[in-house]
C-alpha cells in the first residue's frame, strides 16, 4: 500500500502515516461510512429485477465507493442469472465515462442522474466572481473542439491522465481560446479572470456518453422509469440492514463477508418465491360431466 501510494500523483498522494491497515481485517478499507464514523468498510452491490422482485446478482468489494463496480456486477449477472440486463438503473456513481463506455460495449443502456460539477457554480457558492458556465460553449464533434458564444474556435492545450478509484485512469483534454480573441471579446469580464491567457475548458474522456445520458434522463420515459428505482432497490438495502441485521458483518475476511451477503440474498429470494406461491390463485378443477345422465 505504501508503494502504491508513492506512485500516485502529488494531488492524490497521502502522507505515509495516513496509509493504515487493520491487522484483524486487512482486506477491508478504512474510511468514513454514511454516518461519518471512521471504520472498516466493505461495499455491497445488489442487482434487483424490477419485474420479479428477485435479487438477480450480488457481490462484495473491498472499496469505499461505487464507481468501477458495474463491470464486475454485469459479469456476476451472467454467472448467476445467465445473461446481462438490457437496462440498468443506478445512481450518479454509475454515470461516469469509463462505466458508461463499458456498458455501451456490453450493449447495456444506463439510466442514472448525471451529477453536476460545474466549477463556476462552485465558485459562485463561495461568494467569488463566477465565470460564464461551460454549458454556454458548444462542443463540435467533427472538429473535436469548442466554439465560444462569440463564434471563435478553440485550440487544444494539453492532454493529461487523471487517476480515478480502483487504479483506473481517464484522459482529460484542455481546450483554450486564443488570448487575442479574449482580449478583444466584449464578454471577457464575465468569461475569464485572465484575458491575457484566454479562457480554458477541460473535457474528460467519454464525455459524449455522459452528454447522451444527461439528454436521455431529461425524457419523460426516463423520468417515469427511474421512479421505479426508489421504490425497489433502495428498499432491499434497507431491509437487509434493518431486518437481516446487516449493518455490520459478523465474521472476518472477504470470503465470509461475501458468504453472509449470499445467505441474505438467498433468504430474500426464497421469501419472494414463497409469497408468490402463497398468493397465486390455484385453478379450480374442471367439472366432470357424466356421460349418461340418470332419468
pLDDT in tens, 41-99: 999 999 988 888 889 999 999 888 888 899 999 999 999 989 999 999 988 888 989 99
177: nearest Cα among 147, 211, 221, 209 = 147
- Give the residue-averaged pLDDT of 198-219: 91
β-strand partners of 155: 176
pTM value? Answer: 0.78
Predicted local distance difference test score (pLDDT) of residue 283: 64
DSSP 155: E
| Residue 35, strand partner residues | none
Q: For residue 3, give the nearest of 119, 122, 137, 167 by alpha carbon.
A: 167
* 270 confidence band (pLDDT: 50, 70, 90): very high
* Predicted confidence (pLDDT) at residue 122 exceeds the cutoff of 60: no
Instruction: Say how many residues make up the chain.
Output: 295
CA atoms within a 13 Å half-sphere pointing along the CA-CB vector of 263? 11
**For position 295, what pLDDT does the model report?**
54
CA dist 123 → 105, 130, 137, 189, 202 (Å): 36, 6, 18, 15, 16
> Structural domain boundaries of the chain?
20-115+218-279, 119-207
Q: Which residue has the cell 500523483?
A: 9
Pairing of strands 155-163, 145-147: unpaired
User: Mean pLDDT over residues 217-238, rounded?
Assistant: 84
Q: Across residues 193-197, what is the average pLDDT?
A: 73
Question: 162 vs 290, which has greater pLDDT?
Answer: 162
In this structure, are residues 265 and 46 in contact, taking their beta carbons and an 8 Å threshold? yes
Judged against a pLDDT cut of 50, whether residue 120 lies above it is answered with no
pLDDT in tens, 128-179: 556 788 888 999 988 889 998 888 888 887 888 887 766 678 889 999 888 8
- Indicate the fold that domain 20-115+218-279 takes in CATH: Nucleotidyltransferase; domain 5 (3.30.420)
Provide the pLDDT for residue 187. Answer: 84
Cell reading at 192 = 475569464
DSSP H or E segment with residue 160: strand 155-163
Residue 119 pLDDT: 44
Q: What percentage of the chain exceeds 90 in pLDDT?
A: 31
User: How much is the average pLDDT of 207-223?
Assistant: 92
Q: Which three cell numbers stand for residue 36?
A: 461519518
- Residue 2, SS3 per DSSP: helix
pLDDT for residue 291 is more than 70: no
Using an 8 Å Cβ cutoff, are 97 and 103 in contact? no
Concatenating the DSSP letter of every residue in 56-82 gives EEEEEESSSS-TT-HHHHHHHHHHHHS
Amino acid at each position: 500500500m505504501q508503494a502504491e501510494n508513492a506512485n500516485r500523483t502529488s494531488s492524490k498522494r497521502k502522507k505515509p502515516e495516513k496509509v493504515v491497515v487493520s491487522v484483524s481485517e486487512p482486506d477491508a478499507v478504512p474510511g468514513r461510512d454514511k454516518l461519518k464514523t471512521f471504520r472498516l468498510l466493505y461495499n455491497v452491490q445488489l442487482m434487483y429485477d424490477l419485474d420479479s422482485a428477485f435479487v438477480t446478482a450480488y457481490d462484495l468489494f473491498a472499496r469505499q465507493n461505487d464507481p468501477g463496480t458495474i463491470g464486475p456486477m454485469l459479469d456476476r449477472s451472467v454467472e448467476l442469472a445467465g445473461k446481462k440486463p438490457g437496462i440498468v438503473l443506478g445512481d450518479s456513481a454509475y454515470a461516469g465515462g469509463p462505466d458508461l463506455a463499458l456498458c455501451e460495449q456490453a450493449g447495456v443502456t444506463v439510466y442514472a442522474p448525471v451529477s453536476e460539477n460545474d466549477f463556476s457554480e462552485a465558485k459562485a457558492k463561495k461568494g467569488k466572481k463566477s465565470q460564464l458556465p461551460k454549458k454556454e460553449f458548444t462542443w463540435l464533434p467533427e472538429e473535436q473542439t469548442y466554439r465560444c458564444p462569440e463564434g471563435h474556435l478553440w485550440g487544444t492545450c494539453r492532454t493529461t491522465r487523471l487517476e480515478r478509484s480502483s487504479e483506473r485512469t481517464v484522459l482529460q483534454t484542455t481546450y483554450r481560446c486564443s488570448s487575442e480573441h479574449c482580449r478583444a471579446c466584449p464578454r471577457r469580464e464575465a468569461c475569464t479572470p485572465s484575458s491575457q491567457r484566454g479562457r480554458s475548458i477541460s473535457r474528460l474522456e467519454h464525455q459524449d456518453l455522459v452528454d447522451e445520458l444527461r439528454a436521455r434522463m431529461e425524457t419523460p420515459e426516463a423520468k417515469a422509469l427511474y421512479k421505479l428505482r426508489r421504490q425497489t432497490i433502495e428498499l432491499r438495502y434497507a431491509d437487509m440492514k434493518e431486518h437481516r441485521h446487516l449493518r455490520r458483518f459478523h465474521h472476518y475476511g472477504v470470503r465470509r463477508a461475501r458468504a453472509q451477503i449470499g445467505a441474505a440474498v438467498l433468504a430474500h429470494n426464497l421469501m419472494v418465491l414463497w409469497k408468490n406461491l402463497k398468493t397465486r390463485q390455484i385453478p379450480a378443477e374442471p367439472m366432470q360431466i357424466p356421460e349418461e345422465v340418470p332419468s
